Structure 1
Amino acid sequence: MSIKVETPANPITLAIIGCGQRGNAYAQYSIVEPSKCKVVAIAEPRIQSRALFANRYGVDGSLVFETWEQLHKASAKSIQTTGKRPADAVIVAVQDSMHVEVVEAFAAQGYDILCEKPMATSIEHCLQIEAAVKRAGIIFGLGHVLRYSPYSRAVTEVVRSGKLGQLVNVQHIEPVGHWHFAHSYVRGNWSKERESSFSLMTKSCHDIDIVCHWFSPDTPVRVSSFGGLQHFRKSGKPLEAGDATRCLDCAYERQCPYSAKKIYLDRVALGHTGWPVRPLVDGIPDIENVTDALVHGPYGRCVYESDNDVCDNQVVNLQYASGATFSFTMVAYTTLICERQTRLHFTHGEIVGDMNQFTVTDFRSGLTTVHQPSPEASTSGHGGGDLGLVGTFVEAVRTRRQDLLGTDITEVLKSHLTVFAAEHSRKAGTVVDCVEFENAARRAWDGSVQNSTASE
């Protein structure tokens, strides 16, 4: 459903914590819609990235910080001396494991918060964030960007209309992309569970979320899951690669689909300096800097000689309280890069889509219609979902209406708990009761809070 957005008298002001790919993706809304929001403060440890970001968004030097702690301290001083916060809202785009401490700190200061997905990397931290958000009474958005693209909103309208009857089954696939998986989940920041989280959470929590959103108010009651690390390990290394541990030293490099030279250097040579090249260096990437990163950094390592441990393929099966079912597949080995394919089966029709367009077939009338998203989808990532999320969040902040986001902190937590339950099923080899899983998590959390309070 489209939301009517009125232009505010003054733009909503934003502080961006983490000026990497996701921070930039969200901050871009201030350039597209400068009358609606403005970036006024940032925190970013990388020197050149910080300077480039501040220059691009016109951030005053007095509100440019190296760490989120420095921004938080300056905010506390401003609140104490003037009674005002430096910004209306904070966008949290730091590494996943840092979300809990940053959200808790700024929620306590009364900031409305948009947090990149996943909310946190452990059940305990997710519950901590829920408690912090409820305690502060703030507007809270989560980077489940799939909900906010023109494509998904159009699908949601059809689902909610009821014209196809009851939703009985959904089949959904997340084709990560062979080299994208190598970039992010073998060589990159999300390659090791102990340093980030499992790949179903870091990559696909918003896939589980959007389908749960379509089934709502129906709720998941049972989940099972299977998967593992199938190929990106020592045993998968081609014999022709020999003892090479880095792509630039490998005789097999030109035949390897995961060659770092192909993924990064060949792109730079063609003038492409955006993702996936930009994360390799601090500042604007060029041939010299990217080559140095491949010689010395993790992105130049052989994918078969890396220390990654997260799943490269996984299936999840969910049953809902109504008896409806949902099957999900996340797989690395695809040509498509994150262009999900979805089939929704209703008692009187079906929807078949691929994030670019979808067809609706009504069994009763026999009519099939093709739907395409708005042209605005081309203006940002995730089919327009990035800017769609920020635009909705900004309007929610301006109007003080959490409902505009179509979700709240408790629903966000429930969809995360469903993902945690699926991963528990995969590891334990058992079907998990979703309701009992949540109840057990909350009991454990309540017990730890009580123990912590008693020891103080």
Structure 2
Amino acid sequence: MKSAILIGAGQRGIHAYGAYAIEKKEKLKFIAVAEPDEFKREYFKKLHNIDENYSVKDWKNLIKFGKIADFVVISTMDKLHKEPALEFLKLGYDILIEKPVSTNIEDSVEIIKKAKELKRFIMPCYVLRFSEFYSEIKNLIKNNKIGKIISIEQNENIGYFHMAHSYVRGRWNNSIETASIILTKSCHDLDIIQWLIDKPCKSIFSYGNLSLFNSINKPNNSSDKCLECSVEEECPYSAKKLYLNMELKGWPVDTITNDLSYEGRLNALKNTQYGTCVYTCDNNVLDNQTVFMEFEDGINVVFKLNAFTHDKTRIIKISGSHGEIIGNFEKNIIEIFDFINDTKEIINIKPEYVSAHNGSDFKLMDFFINFIDSNKNIDYFNLIESHFMAEAAEISRINKSNIDYLKFKNSFIK
């Protein structure tokens, strides 16, 4: 059994990594937690039977104990990753870190270089790699099921309600405070694209904008607060519709308040930005973006993130010389079209675990725990390949220019 420290007992800390330790007691035990929110800290402490001395507000208060666990899980807000990552690496810890590693490429590179220097393993939480869905697609490609890969289309359908919650009203709504949405939301997708292709990216071009969620589009006669708005019933982004629905007990409601009663939710809408009109928030991240990529061997890739979808899912389409693969991540369905025999095969994926991201949170934990004892070689910079790609996409979008990707990446790691 491995032991771990949790830095940041928020949604992911409690319901992904903490939940794994509860279900897999023979594999993992959390022995310490650092979390400034007293309610969350106490909840995690009691749930995992953590000693009072190892339950602290600030992670810096755990440094004095030295190395007391096998690894550290960092699941704070993105901009708070760098300092604890560097300090715990120095103490000899391996680290599981929420994506992105940091909110800018320079800090991410610094963290990875430190891990390489100290020969410690640091793994960003790219949960999609560990899903049965994308693992099956990887195997289909490896087994030449559709011949030579010609092109890939990956769509991240954010979902209109998810966009409003996380990227308009929520914690990832402003790139100055966090980072670009292509990094904070979609480095998952960029990672899975390069992982599936397993060849170098050569060039990147991107465009995108904030098309809806701004004051220009604020409806006539609307109010700044949903609770006071005369046209709220006609708005798909109404905070009342989302957060006052008492049938919803978990995400996203449990991220706006610790009190899930009607009164607690109402109070949150009155006193936080979660009750603010989506057209008057301080958001600036894009609500749609398209990235064009060319990989080695002439493989062309299009990635799209889109807020304006009903379903919150990912759709992938891979075109090959002898066939085609189309998959829906949330539905766990993969269709394979064989051009030679003019046939279609449907694979219904049945995840091993019942957890977030179709069970892949737990699969990721299984991998990480096994890997830290494996002594396998680590391709350190591949761990943040998606971060380089996201940064290149943003620079391309801002400057309206094509990026020589390999030259761009090497400028940071030389």
Please report the TM-score for the alignment, with normalisation by the length of structure 2. Answer: 0.96
Instruction: Tell me if 1:442 matches 2:413.
Output: yes
Instruction: Tell me if 1:358 matches 2:348.
Output: no
- Root mean square deviation, CA, Å: 1.4
1:368 Cα offset (Å): 2.3
- SS of corresponding position for 1:399: coil
Q: Distance in 2 between matches of 1:162 and 1:41?
A: 46
Q: Distance in 2 between matches of 1:438 and 1:50?
A: 39
What residue in structure 1 maps to residue 250 of structure 2? 274
Amino acid at match of 1:336: D
1:376 Cα offset (Å): 2.4
Q: Distance in 1 between matches of 2:35 and 2:228?
A: 33
What residue in structure 2 maps to residue 315 of structure 1? 290
Q: Deviations over 1:138-184 (max 9, x none)?
A: 12211111111111111111112223222110011101011110100
- SS of corresponding position for 1:322: helix
Contact 1:223 1:316 in 2 (8 A): yes
- SS of corresponding position for 2:298: coil
- SS of corresponding position for 1:376: coil
Q: Deviations over 1:297-332 (max 9, x none)?
A: 111111111110000000000001211110011010
Q: Distance in 2 between matches of 1:137 and 1:322?
A: 33
- SS of corresponding position for 1:371: strand
Contact 2:81 2:101 in 1 (8 A): yes
Instruction: Tell me if 1:13 matches 2:18.
Output: no
Instruction: Tell me if 1:264 matches 2:240.
Output: no
1:92 Cα offset (Å): 0.6
- SS of corresponding position for 2:372: helix
What residue in structure 1 maps to residue 92 of structure 2? 110
Instruction: Tell me if 1:224 matches 2:231.
Output: no
After TM superposition, the structure 1 = structure 2 runs for residues 353-432 of structure 1, keeping only pairs within 5 Å, are: 353-355=327-329, 356-377=332-353, 379-401=354-376, 408-432=379-403
Contact 2:191 2:385 in 1 (8 A): no
Q: Distance in 2 between matches of 1:112 and 1:124?
A: 21
Q: Distance in 1 between matches of 2:372 and 2:52?
A: 25
- SS of corresponding position for 1:273: coil
Q: 1:49 to 1:141 in 2, by over 3 A?
A: same
1:402 Cα offset (Å): 5.9
Gaps of 5+ in 2: none
What residue in structure 1 maps to residue 61 of structure 2? 70
- SS of corresponding position for 1:386: helix
- SS of corresponding position for 2:304: strand
Contact 1:140 1:402 in 2 (8 A): no
What residue in structure 2 maps to residue 153 of structure 1? 135
- SS of corresponding position for 1:13: strand
- SS of corresponding position for 1:257: coil
Q: Deviations over 1:186-215 (max 9, x none)?
A: 111100101000111111001011011011
Instruction: Tell me if 1:141 matches 2:112.
Output: no
Q: Distance in 1 between matches of 2:337 and 2:299?
A: 19
Amino acid at match of 2:200: T
What residue in structure 2 maps to residue 345 of structure 1? 319
Q: Distance in 2 between matches of 1:321 and 1:424?
A: 21
- SS of corresponding position for 2:283: coil
Contact 1:396 1:402 in 2 (8 A): no
Contact 1:17 1:68 in 2 (8 A): yes
- SS of corresponding position for 2:366: helix
What residue in structure 1 maps to residue 177 of structure 2? 195
Greater fraction of residues in helix: 1
* Residue of structure 2 aligned with 1:162, choices 144, 153, 167: 144
1:429 Cα offset (Å): 0.4
1:275 Cα offset (Å): 0.6
Q: Deviations over 1:332-385 (max 9, x none)?
A: 011001x111101111111110011101223234332211222425x1111112
Q: Distance in 2 between matches of 1:362 and 1:412?
A: 34
Amino acid at match of 1:45: P
Q: How many residues align?
A: 411
1:88 Cα offset (Å): 0.4
Q: Distance in 1 between matches of 2:216 and 2:81?
A: 35
Amino acid at match of 1:279: T
Q: Distance in 2 between matches of 1:316 and 1:375?
A: 30
1:285 Cα offset (Å): 2.3
1:234 Cα offset (Å): 0.2
Amino acid at match of 2:233: R
Q: Distance in 2 between matches of 1:154 and 1:258?
A: 36
Amino acid at match of 2:230: A
What residue in structure 2 maps to residue 120 of structure 1? 102
Q: Distance in 1 between matches of 2:52 and 2:133?
A: 39
Q: 1:401 to 1:32 in 2, by over 3 A?
A: farther
* Residue of structure 2 aligned with 1:306, choices 270, 281, 287: 281
- SS of corresponding position for 1:190: coil
- SS of corresponding position for 1:239: coil
Q: Distance in 2 between matches of 1:32 and 1:276?
A: 23
Please report the TM-score for the alignment, with normalisation by the length of structure 1. Answer: 0.87
Deviates more, 1:202-211 or 1:382-391: 382-391
Instruction: Tell me if 1:239 matches 2:225.
Output: no
- SS of corresponding position for 1:306: coil
* Residue of structure 2 aligned with 1:87, choices 69, 74, 99: 69
- SS of corresponding position for 1:207: helix
Contact 2:200 2:296 in 1 (8 A): yes
Amino acid at match of 1:293: A
Q: 1:280 to 1:361 in 2, by over 3 A?
A: same
Contact 1:96 1:119 in 2 (8 A): yes
* Residue of structure 1 aligned with 2:79, choices 88, 94, 97: 97
What residue in structure 2 maps to residue 175 of structure 1? 157
Instruction: Tell me if 1:35 matches 2:26.
Output: yes
- SS of corresponding position for 1:97: helix
1:37 Cα offset (Å): 1.0
